[in-house]
Chain A
Amino acid sequence: AQSVAQPEDQVNVAEGNPLTVKCTYSVSGNPYLFWYVQYPNRGLQFLLKYITGDNLVKGSYGFEAEFNKSQTSFHLKKPSALVSDSALYFCAVRDIRGFQKLVFGTGTRLLVSP
């Protein structure tokens, strides 16, 4: 079965420093990978997706993600963190049955301190 793992419950980073939120995946076939962000009391918002092509995917709000097939990873990155980036981040993979059914990770809380 398709799955993703987010090994860190929380990531702490100082404003202005680079940030990385980790995600590893396990899939049958080609992976379709996504990152979503959830701000307090809000629904999830799409950040970026990897389907095929360049291993570095650029998304919303200055975020990018690096796809690494040999390490089965899809880490979310940003060169310079903002306090407003503090939120809950979810990695997701498309279910093998297709369509837009996604299997989500458990989420990583990002806390950016001033």
Chain B
Amino acid sequence: NAGVTQTPKFQVLKTGQSMTLQCAQDMNHEYMSWYRQDPGMGLRLIHYSVGAGITDQGEVPNGYNVSRSTTEDFPLRLLSAAPSQTSVYFCASSYSGAGGRATNEKLFFGSGTQLSVL
């Protein structure tokens, strides 16, 4: 059972560089999301997707892009990295139930990507 797989585990970028954080799940979950975790701030939602071809913004979307071409994958792109994007990033997925509107299903999290932007 792989669950939610994130790569890479660690990354160091220079300001202005771009990169993609990968997330894949093998549970056939419709819902996928990206959070960032910062000390003293808990987790904040960046972007989410309720199915292939459908994405929407969360609480802190600026500086990040996402796409969802398949059910399994939900990559997060940093277009031009900034020091403020230094954080731990978590991908999470969940079953959405019949009709895609389940609201009480638990999230399954990946093990995270620790990103430093110098």
Interface residue ranges, A against B (CB under 8 Å): 32, 34, 36, 41-46, 49, 51, 90, 94-95, 98-107
Contact = CB atoms under 8 A, between A and B. Distances in A.
Interface stretch (B14-22, B42-50, B61-69, B75-83): B42-50
A-B CB proximity, top 9 nearest: A43-B109, A46-B106, A104-B42, A104-B43, A100-B94, A106-B42, A44-B109, A43-B111, A51-B104
B87 interface: no
Interface of B: 4, 31, 33, 35, 40-45, 48, 50, 58, 90, 92, 94, 96, 101-112
A43 B61 CA distance: 21
B60 to A, nearest CB: 12
A23 B21 CA distance: 32
Contact of A98 (B35, B103, B109): B103
Given A43-B110, A104-B43, 9 more contacts: A42-B111, A42-B112, A44-B109, A45-B109, A51-B104, A99-B103, A100-B33, A100-B102, A101-B48
